[in-house]
Amino acid sequence: MGEKKVALITGGSRGIGRACALEFAKADFDVAIVYAGNEEAANKTVEELKAIGSDATAYKFDIANEEEVNAGVASVIEKYGRIDVLVNNAGITRDNLFLRMNSADWNAVINTNLTGVYNVSKPVVKLMMKQRSGSIVNMSSIVGVMGNAGQANYSAAKAGLIGMTKSLAKELASRNIRVNAIAPGFINTDMTKGLDPEKFAEHIPLKRLGEPEDIAKTAKFLAVDGTYITGQVIGVDGGLVV
C-alpha cells in the first residue's frame, strides 16, 4: 500500500477513461482502472500510467454484474487500502429507433450505464464513508440532458445518472463525499468513430469535436480542485447545450 491518493476509474483502458487515468496519474495519484475485455488496451494503458510514476493496476470485471463488481472492488481495496476518487466512466451504446430497439438492447444499456454505476458506487461509498472523505465523478452525457433520436435507452440511463448524482450529493455531503457529473458532448473516441467529424463540428459553437483530454481535465478539476462543488452537472460540449 502506497502513500499516494488513489483513483478508481471504470472504463479506464480506452477513450475518455484512459485520458482520466493519465490525468490523475499526472496529479500524483495511484490509479486502478476497470475494463470489460480488451486486455491489450488495458495493459498498454497500465504501462503508460506506470511510466509516469503511478502504481497502476487493471481489473477486469463487468460493472453490470454485482458479484463480479464486489469481488473486483474488494481486490482494489486490498491492494491500495483506500479510494479517494471514483470516476464512473464505463459505458456502452446500443442505438436504434425506439420501435426497433429490442429489450436486450434496452437492458444492456440500462444495466451497464446506470445499474453499473450503482453496483460500483455501493462498495466504494461504504469505504469513503469510513474514510470520511471522497469524490465521485459520474460520466453522463449531453444526451441525458437534451435527448437524442435513436438513443432512448442511452439517454434514459444518462438522465438517470444525473438524478442519482444529485441525490447522492445531498445524501453524502455530511460525510465529506462530493458527487458531480460531467455531460460530455461529442468526443473523439472509439464510441464515436462512425461519426463524420466535419459534419458534426458545423453544429458545435467551438467548431470541433472534443478530445478525451478535455473531459479528463474537467474530471480532475471536479475531483481535486472543486472542493466546494457538489451535485453539479458540468457540460463539456464545445457550447452545444447552452
Catalytic residues: 154
Please identify, using beta-carbon distances, which residue of 84 and 214 lies nearer to ligand NAP: 214
Min dist. Cβ of residue 151 to ligand NAP (A): 10
- How deeply is 68 buried, as exposed, middle or buried, from its count of CB atoms within 10 A (0-12, 13-18, 19+)? middle
Please identify, using beta-carbon distances, which residue of 124 and 187 lies nearer to ligand NAP: 187
Q: Cα–chain-centroid distance for residue 17?
A: 6
Binding letters toward ligand NAP, positions 125-164, x by CB under 6 A: --------------x-x-----------------------
Interacting span for ligand NAP (CB under 6 A) from 34-42, 77-85, 94-102, 223-231: 34-42
Binding letters toward ligand NAP, positions 80-119, x by CB under 6 A: ---------xxxx-------------------x-------
Please identify, using beta-carbon distances, which residue of 128 and 183 lies nearer to ligand NAP: 183
Please identify, using beta-carbon distances, which residue of 91 and 160 lies nearer to ligand NAP: 91
| DSSP secondary structure, 119-187, as one string | HHHHHHHHHHHHHT-EEEEEE--THHHH--TT-HHHHHHHHHHHHHHHHHHHHHGGGTEEEEEEEE-SB
What is the length of the chain?
Answer: 242
Tell whether the torsion through CA atoms of 2, 8, 11 and 15 is positive or negative: negative
Q: What is the dihedral of CA 184, 190, 196, 197, to 10 degrees?
A: 50
Q: Cα–chain-centroid distance for residue 241?
A: 20
Please identify, using beta-carbon distances, which residue of 3 and 199 lies nearer to ligand NAP: 199
- How deeply is 104 buried, as exposed, middle or buried, from its count of CB atoms within 10 A (0-12, 13-18, 19+)? exposed
Q: Which of residues 163-222 bind ligand NAP (CB under 6 A)?
A: 184, 186-187, 189-192
Beta bridge pairs of residue 187: 210
Interacting span for ligand NAP (CB under 6 A) from 46-54, 60-68, 165-173, 219-227: 60-68
With beta carbons less than 8 A apart as the criterion, state whether 51 and 25 touch. Answer: no
Q: Does the protein bind ligand NAP through residue 59 (CB under 6 A)? A: no
Dist. CA 186–CA 217, nearest whole Å: 16
One of 8, 34, 85, 172 touching ligand NAP (CB under 6 A):
34
One of 26, 27, 36, 70 touching ligand NAP (CB under 6 A):
36
Min dist. Cβ of residue 176 to ligand NAP (A): 26
Cell of 179: 458527487
Min dist. Cβ of residue 14 to ligand NAP (A): 4
One of 37, 99, 196, 227 touching ligand NAP (CB under 6 A):
37
